[in-house]
Amino acid sequence: MKISTFIISILKLSNMKWEGRRQSKNVDDRRGMGTKGGIAAGGGLVVIIVLLLQFFGGETGKQLAPIVEQFGNAPVQTTSQRELTAEEKKYGEFMATVLADTEDVWHKLFKQYNLGTYKEPTMVLFTDAVRSGCGNASASMGPFYCPADHKLYMDLAFFDELVTRFGAKGGDFAMAYVTAHEVAHHVQTLLGTSQKVNQLQRQTNKVEGNKLSVALELQADFYAGVWAHHNRKYLEEGDIEEALSAANAVGDDAIQGKFSGEVRPDTFTHGTSEQRMYWFMKGYKTGDLNQGDTFSEILN
């Protein structure tokens, strides 16, 4: 399915109440900017280390050996800007509304839990390829958060893949869930959790390191659920099912089973479908940040 067709179909499915509400100003829309000649900067082989496996889990085969990605050596060139279509504009408005919702909820929660001031992240919308503070990325990597520049990188293609390749139901709230998950990595960075995990991973072996990654990812799912809880006045019937369907589709066991035919729990970096759904629902039901200690559960 072409992406434009896909966007039209999700907007038709759309039931989350979002139109006419506040849109975040922290959106850097790079979709109209074409790129050509590959996606690495300035010549030479660029090795990209994406900190902490911040991927949502959008990659397919590459998913199994992530962290370090290598790209070719042609420079990024921004070509002439093209007009966005009406559908693309609508999609951007939807994403800006979801981001605004995360800002409202996280400002409130940071105050409520005495966590200091919430610093809002920027959301970069892109297609094909993008340059980030963590290196250059292609859309096939899926959405990700870069702790170095405090930006979420969201590509359109991933939402298409979520439905066509991963078998999720799709729908607007699935996209909101993915966004909330990436915002959760931003929260983990503001709170120092990501940095602690990163440090521990450097001191331990691969299997234990993967467990830490799973705990971090499941906590991000939990935070996404907490966000949904505090945003529930805008949700409608079916929204939570869409989020669960997305969480289910991107579990490590589901992805591995689908693409390699073999499921190896010691290589998991994001958690099983069941775990992802469990933690999202726990956050959604409780709405309580203190219930999200995935680390004691996963590491013991």
Binding residues for Zn ion (CB under 5 A): 56, 217, 220
Nearer to Zn ion, 40 or 146 (CB): 146
Q: Which is nearer to Zn ion, 56 or 280 (CB)?
A: 56
Q: Which is nearer to Zn ion, 40 or 215 (CB)?
A: 215
Residue whose C-alpha is closest to residue 215's, from 243, 242, 185: 185
Q: Are strands 77-81 and 33-36 parallel, antiparallel or unpaired?
A: antiparallel
Nearer to Zn ion, 18 or 56 (CB): 56
Q: What separation in angstroms does the CA of 6 have from each of 3, 89, 127?
A: 5, 14, 14
Cβ proximity to Zn ion, 56 vs 158, nearer residue? 56
CA distance 129 to 69: 14
Other CB atoms closer than 10 Å to residue 255's CB: what's the count?
A: 24
Q: Which is nearer to Zn ion, 7 or 190 (CB)?
A: 190
AA identity, residue 290:
N
Within a 10 A sphere around the Cβ of 52, how many other Cβ atoms?
A: 23
Per the structure block, which two tokens stand in for 282?
A: 């726990």
Residue 6 burial (C-beta neighbours within 10 Å; 0-12, 13-18, 19+): buried
Q: What are phi and psi of 69, to 5 degrees?
A: -120, 140
- Close Cβ partners of 243 (under 8 Å, ≥ 6 residues apart): 173, 174, 176, 177, 224, 228, 280
Give dist(CA 27, CA 207) in Å, integer: 37
In the bound state with Zn ion, the residue whose beta carbon lies nearer, of 19 and 297, is 297
Least distance (Å) between residue 170 CB and Zn ion: 19
